[in-house]
Amino acid sequence: MSLYRVFDIAASGLSAQSVRLNTTASNIANAESVSSSLDKTYRGRHPVFAAEFDNALSEQGAGVKVLGVVESDAPLNK
């Protein structure tokens, strides 16, 4: 494995953690927010990750992929 490939894998992990930190910061910032309608009420968000694999080396990981950010479906607190 070349050194550049190692840096690509590390960069994908750092990018994924950046998404996690931004999502967590958004959840903390809006934890005590209040809304008058159920449609506009803030719901917690959670990132979804998956491992990426290199086609040539199927048993070795090739990084992290962010599949998206999903909203929580937990009941709202009154």
Q: Token digits for 9?
A: 């894998």
Q: C-alpha 56: how far from its chain's center? A: 27
Query: What pLDDT is recorded for position 65?
Result: 92
Paired with 27 in beta bridges are: none
Dihedral through CA 28, CA 43, CA 70, CA 21, nearest 10?
-10
Assess contact for 27 and 47: CB atoms under 8 A: no
Query: What pLDDT is recorded for position 1?
Result: 60
**Would you write out the chain's pLDDT as a tens digit for each of its 78 residues?**
678 888 988 999 999 999 999 999 999 999 888 888 877 888 999 999 998 887 765 566 688 999 999 999 888 877
Query: What pLDDT is recorded for position 34?
Result: 82
- pTM as predicted: 0.78
